[in-house]
Amino acid sequence: MSKKKVVLVLLVLIAAVAGYLWKSGRFEPRFRLQVFQTPDGWGFEIAQRGRPFIYQPIIPTIPGKRGFSSEEGARKTGELMIKKLEESNNPPEISVEELRELGIPEAAQAP
């Protein structure tokens, strides 16, 4: 086989493997955060490899069913959850203290 044919075959194989990996989602980040507005404020959803994984329309660990008062608060909390997911296979838990550290105003009044 000539050198040109070998190079062509290798390029076709590389393209096929790259196409397979792209379609299977392996080039996608493992977790993706989407912040959304709700009637009660803001919430977030975390997708794992393109599939919904965590849907959080309310503030976790805070008594009552209230959304985040700001998009930024929902985003920071979602980012912390993703960080915890990447560090462990266990479902992440967020404490009131962590919400306070993130500057979530609703956590200031929580017990």
Domain ranges of the chain: 31-108
pLDDT at 74 (0 to 100): 97
Q: Read off the pTM.
A: 0.73
Say if residue 79's pLDDT is above 60: yes
What are the Cα distances from residue 72, in Å, to 75, 79, 87? 5, 10, 23
- Work out the average pLDDT over 21-34: 73
Query: CA 10 to CA 13: how far, in whole Å?
Result: 5
Q: In this predicted structure, which of 2-6, 16-20, 21-25, 43-47 has the lowest mean pLDDT?
A: 21-25
